[in-house]
Structure 1
């Protein structure tokens, strides 16, 4: 599971160049010493990963509730179909215009980020990472879906933590190497993303299909009870 999380995070690195890259490049570290720069960038990324981990815990806890009522594998199929649908959009097979429903939330996050940007303290770098972690991101949503399907707050927390670790190579290096990553890598990401979404969608569909394949498509235990048997005495 943890290797899957890190792998997904590594795949997200090219995505980070286009989405979070401008934020990382804008971090106010220009007048700091080398040690201060490194510590500030690490603190910024720590804030981002902390947010991912707690979001994963929340989604994992929600998935646990869905597991208890017996619909987690059905949800796995639905989410898998959704990811396949997203892949088809990326391939331009399906035309779809996304509704703009995140405008107010984005403005709130941008305002919070800008306020911290002016402070330039260590706690400000941490909060900048927190606000960055809350920004809408397709790859983060994909990882959160995986956390939901794990059906455990602890596994969800761990999955998103290691996902964040996987995103570190680009997010740590960007503030120091500037615009070294050019348009070619971003174009390469656009080519890779649809295939990634398609593969993940197929995996999620198989996971809920009750085919009896260990790890990939586990069989549903129809004899399992959502709660342990208890003896209730009435007086």
Structure 2
């Protein structure tokens, strides 16, 4: 299935209102924590770079986005065998409808109108129980490598928004396409997560306002409904293809 990456980038950008409440505080604490410089360390230059909040926040988010891409590659690769049956028009159409239904459900979730998608997190908590202990082994986030590792592990935190987009990655048909789907989504979250790490609680409070969540959720819902309308044959292809997850 050919996947359009632009709407997935926008979904990540708008879905950041959810990240503000779930991860914003952690990012802010990590990025502003003073680095630890070991006397005589051969990587003093790296520690000095990490002293800037922007560098620390970027390292953390690079790890987080890398974990998204890895999860997308895994999901797309495991479902790669489905490329054979996805060539069948009926099954391909069903997969397209499923991807857009998940987008619509995510929009409702961001608007706090329906939290059914959050149930997906219940299964993810079992995975997180195995990942969480690794955070303690990473050690204090006092280097770029440790910040990257912390972000890479934190990226596996059970998150309904991430899991929703993983459905599209799974339906992409290959590991490379799945990684591209999650990379586009992750890059969409980057601007807001960088701002959250640097601006702190004031920005998080604004993003959690109901009006902001309603607007962002409504746009994500619109992506899903637009795709469903096209699947039903109610809209022409033309320029709308750029706004839909798949043709």
One of 130, 141, 145 as aligned partner of 2:163: 141
Q: Distance in 2 between matches of 1:173 and 1:89?
A: 23
The offset of 1:119, in angstroms, is 5.3
Q: Which residue of 2 aligns with 1:198?
A: 221
Q: CA deviation at 1:126?
A: 1.2
Question: Does residue 1:6 correspond to 2:9, yes or no?
Answer: yes
1:228 maps to what in 2?
A: none
Structure 2 matches for 1:165-176, cutoff 5 A?
Answer: 165-176=187-198
Specify whether residues 111 and 73 from structure 1 end up closer, same or farther in structure 2 by C-alpha distance, changes over 3 A only.
same
* Larger CA deviation: 97-106 vs 38-47: 97-106
TM-score by length of 2: 0.70
Match of 1:229 in 2: none
The unaligned stretches of length 5 or more in structure 2 are 36-46
Cα–Cα, structure 1 residues 90 and 166, in superposed 2: closer, same or farther, change >3 Å?
A: closer
- Structure 2 CA distance for partners of 1:178 and 1:46, relative to 1, 3 Å: same
Q: 1:15 to 1:94 in 2, by over 3 A?
A: closer
- Say whether the 8 Å CA contact 1:56–1:153 is kept in structure 2: yes
In the alignment, is the contact (CA less than 8 A) between 2:34 and 2:142 conserved in 1?
A: no
Q: Please, what is the CA RMSD of the aligned residues?
A: 3.3
Superposition deviation, residue 86 in structure 1: 5.8
Contact 1:75/1:208 (<8 A) preserved: no
Could you list the runs of 5+ residues in structure 1 that have no partner in the other structure?
Answer: 219-235
TM-score (norm 1): 0.73
Per-residue CA deviations over 1:112-147 (Å, capped at 9, x if unaligned) read 234435353332211111112111222222322232
What is the number of residues matched between the two proteins?
A: 218
CA distance in 1, matches of 2:76, 2:27: 29
Greater share of helix residues, 1 or 2? 2
Relative distance call for 1:86 and 1:29 in structure 2 (3 A) is closer
C-alpha contact (below 8 Å) 1:27/1:117 kept by paired residues: no
Residue aligning to 1:22: 25
Q: Distance in 1 between matches of 2:70 and 2:176?
A: 10
Instruction: Determine the structure 2 residue equivalent to 1:151.
Output: 173
Q: 2:49 aligns with which of 35, 51, 74?
A: 35
Contact 1:15 1:189 in 2 (8 A): no
**Structure 2 vs 1, CA of residues 80 and 105 (structure 1 numbering), >3 Å: closer, same or farther?**
same
After superposition, the C-alpha distances for 1:187-212 in whole angstroms (9 at most, x for unaligned) are 23432354245334334535655779
- Per mean C-alpha deviation after superposition, the further-off stretch among 107-116 and 47-56 is 107-116
Of 52, 56, 71 in structure 1, the residue corresponding to residue 72 of structure 2 is 56
Instruction: Select between 88-97 and 178-187 the one with higher mean Cα deviation.
Output: 88-97
